[in-house]
Structure 1
Amino acid sequence: MSEFRQDPTTREWVLLAPERAKRPEDFPQHQRPMAPAWDPDCPFCPGNEQRTPEEETFRIGTHAGWQVRVVTNKYPALTPTGSLTRRHQGALFTRMDGVGIHEVSIETPDHARPLAEMEAVEVENVLVAYRTRYNALRHDPRLKIILIFRNQGKGAGTSLAHPHSQLIATPLVPPPIRRKHDVARAYYDDTGRCIYCDLREAEIAAGERLVFQSEHFTVLQPFAPQAPYETWILPNRHVAAFGDVADEELSDLAVVLRDTLRALTAQLQGLDFNYVIQTAPVGEAHLNYYLWHVQIVPRLTTPAGFELGSGISISTALPEETARLLRAQVRQRRLETED
């Protein structure tokens, strides 16, 4: 039987309708064609650096032997110049220049090496680039939110196969993000506690949606997922802003993120997904009521008329079942590593 569930962190409803799909282990799987380690037509491959914008904002490694590069987006959604003045036309229509920052993190020189297949130190380099750019931009008084995200696969919106992620910083906080913080603030006002920390501890105690834990992080399937196999990575230490993650936590996150993506990839061959680092707005890093975290959303289904009309997502798998399957994948991967 289908079931409505409410996400405690947003107060939004989702509909779990597992009878609309096969068993959660039987989602369609698609083998991706093998890609070369170097593509002469790829602007992100070594030797093609002149095909990306000259403004390189961060690099690990030498110019000729780089490991990670961060460059401005060649086709940016936002530009760093313009006015922040809001222009009103009558009582209803408001405009503002598309001011902001749009960068690309080229995660590896290897054209065919996604995060799930990297060594932990390679993933850590990517995370170091994220944190470095986040902390550089958080001091720009124009910027209010810094979003770091990754689109993998055409179903997730990517246009280039080379492993990369993006950063977009905007001069306003979008309403969906503000609502998440409003819910967290109201919970803190009522209880004096962080809703995300309480949720993490409740999921650990229940165990049924828990995937695995490390010293610094907890991986789980949320109670009310927007999509099958949606996965959250929550810090065990209360920190509101991603930029304030400690070095030892970043090293641990590299292993946790890679192992989570490996488990998802093993379970869902040909996986298209998005992940987003959800973090506090700029200037609100001191918040006691918000916890930064990683949200991974596989693209296994396509929103249709009901979702668009109602705003209610439909998930065709129970998170308790997907957590069980991912736990098995994590155990299997670890056994293979030990052997």
Structure 2
Amino acid sequence: MPQLRQNIITGEWVVIAPERAKRPTDYITADTVKTQSKTECNFCVGKSVYKTRIKKYDTKNIYVVPNKYPVFIEDGKEEPVKSYKVEKDFYRGRPSTGGHDIVVVNDHDTDLPHFSKQIWVDMLETFKKRYQYFDKEKNVVYTIPIYNHGREAGASIEHPHAQIFASNIVPNNITTEIHHTEKYFEHNGSCAFCDLIEHEKDFKKRIVFENKDFVAFTFYSARYPFEIWILPKEHGSRFENEPNAKLETLAESLMDIFSRLAKTLNDPPLNFFIHTLPNTITETDYFHWHLEIAPRITGYGGYEMGSGTIIDVFSPEKAAEFLKNNH
């Protein structure tokens, strides 16, 4: 069973999940990631993975299955969030419980930059429904949907799919975001994300896309070249509380951004993920849900790994200009 372990020096949590290293050849290797056919793919409609789907989440374009090799395991207990001491009470750990979904796009032959608007809408509405399900689970405190596009970004299966991780901890990055935005609100009396939107709209140079509900821009202190954040213009702390009408305009934003990235950067490997509030916190004035896109164009060297300080070799301003001028 996967186990959560806490770093005694930094307080950060990691998941130790050796079972995931035992995934069979269905989880394709670097050499075959671009060549797996429909006849070989267990994720295609009607095949073995499809038969394990949670049917009530079926849409025209999407189905949901439990991950066969989960990082967070649903165990039915009511209070697995408590940590315990191990190794003569020196370290702290806890069971890695919660849930782990695969959100599969039916069409084997499409990929992220070419998703139709309806595929995006179906995927986002599925995220919303699974958020709402996990919000009610006693062994879940945080839910995060992610998408890995390309082998270098962690994709091990050619068939297009997202994942949803529901955990019994608040992830390290979310804890940091909440801490700093709460402090910002205490000092300034306003939401840091709302202020960020207003500043970027005034500054203009980093904005890549905007519609009536969302704004997308390269991030001022980017950790990766061409890192893009998408934020709703109207304040809201929880993605799962957004009306479906806004998911339509978010779908338009995602279609535009991923098309730009594919055309201008030759379809780079990337990840995207959504940050929202933990289940244990109600709507707040200081936190604003958002979607982050992280192209994986360059790797981290020794300085980044050793210091935790990132060197971005391409300025966000130049990145935005490049995306706007070459689309």
How high is the TM-score relative to the length of structure 1? Answer: 0.82
CA distance in structure 1 between the aligned counterparts of 2:224 and 2:56, rounded to whole angstroms: 34
| Equivalent of 2:90 in 74, 89, 92 | 92
CA distance in structure 1 between the aligned counterparts of 2:97 and 2:50, rounded to whole angstroms: 21
Is residue 2:40 matched to residue 1:72?
no
Is residue 2:207 matched to residue 1:213?
no
CA distance in structure 2 between the aligned counterparts of 1:165 and 1:204, rounded to whole angstroms: 31
Cα deviation digits, residues 227-269 of structure 1 (max 9, x gap): 1000010100101111011121100001111111000111111
Q: Is the 8 A contact 1:35 1:112 kept in 2?
A: no
Cα deviation digits, residues 180-211 of structure 1 (max 9, x gap): 10000001011111001101110110011111
Is residue 2:127 matched to residue 1:130?
yes
CA distance in structure 1 between the aligned counterparts of 2:236 and 2:97, rounded to whole angstroms: 28
Is residue 2:312 matched to residue 1:315?
yes
CA distance in structure 2 between the aligned counterparts of 1:33 and 1:283, rounded to whole angstroms: 39
CA distance in structure 2 between the aligned counterparts of 1:103 and 1:272, rounded to whole angstroms: 22
Number of positions where the alignment pairs a residue of Structure 1 with one of Structure 2: 292
Q: 1:74 to 1:216 in 2, by over 3 A?
A: same
Task: Name the SS for the 1:313 alignment partner.
Answer: coil
Aligned to 1:337: none
Residues 102-121 of structure 1 correspond to what in structure 2 (within 5 A)?
102-107=100-105, 109-121=106-118
Q: Is the 8 A contact 1:35 1:111 kept in 2?
A: no
Q: Is the 8 A contact 1:146 1:168 kept in 2?
A: yes
CA distance in structure 2 between the aligned counterparts of 1:223 and 1:91, rounded to whole angstroms: 43
Is residue 2:48 matched to residue 1:54?
no
Is residue 2:285 matched to residue 1:291?
no
| Equivalent of 1:204 in 201, 205, 222 | 201
Task: Name the SS for the 2:52 alignment partner.
Answer: coil
CA distance in structure 2 between the aligned counterparts of 1:285 and 1:121, rounded to whole angstroms: 30
How high is the TM-score relative to the length of structure 2? Answer: 0.85
Aligned to 2:187: 190
Q: 1:33 to 1:202 in 2, by over 3 A?
A: same
How far did residue 162 of structure 1 move?
A: 0.7
Q: Is the 8 A contact 1:240 1:286 kept in 2?
A: yes
One-letter code aligned to 1:46: V
Is residue 2:265 matched to residue 1:271?
no
How far did residue 114 of structure 1 move?
A: 1.5
Q: 1:150 to 1:276 in 2, by over 3 A?
A: same
Cα deviation digits, residues 31-83 of structure 1 (max 9, x gap): x99768x61111111221x235725164334xxxx520011001111211164
Q: 1:53 to 1:191 in 2, by over 3 A?
A: farther
Structure 2 unpaired stretches of 5+ = 1-31
Q: Is the 8 A contact 1:59 1:67 kept in 2?
A: no
Q: 1:315 to 1:101 in 2, by over 3 A?
A: same
Cα deviation digits, residues 65-119 of structure 1 (max 9, x gap): x520011001111211164342213453112111110000002x22121232122
Q: Is the 8 A contact 1:115 1:123 kept in 2?
A: no
Residues 123-202 of structure 1 correspond to what in structure 2 (within 5 A)?
123-202=120-199
One-letter code aligned to 1:116: P
Cα deviation digits, residues 97-153 of structure 1 (max 9, x gap): 11110000002x221212321221221111111111111111112211101100011
CA distance in structure 2 between the aligned counterparts of 1:129 and 1:257, rounded to whole angstroms: 16
Q: Is the 8 A contact 1:58 1:71 kept in 2?
A: no
CA distance in structure 2 between the aligned counterparts of 1:69 and 1:248, rounded to whole angstroms: 21
One-letter code aligned to 1:69: Y
Q: 1:200 to 1:57 in 2, by over 3 A?
A: farther
**What percentage of aligned pairs have identical amino acids?**
27
Structure 1 unpaired stretches of 5+ = 1-31, 333-339
Aligned to 2:230: 233
Q: Is the 8 A contact 1:58 1:129 kept in 2?
A: no
Q: Is the 8 A contact 2:225 2:314 kept in 1?
A: yes
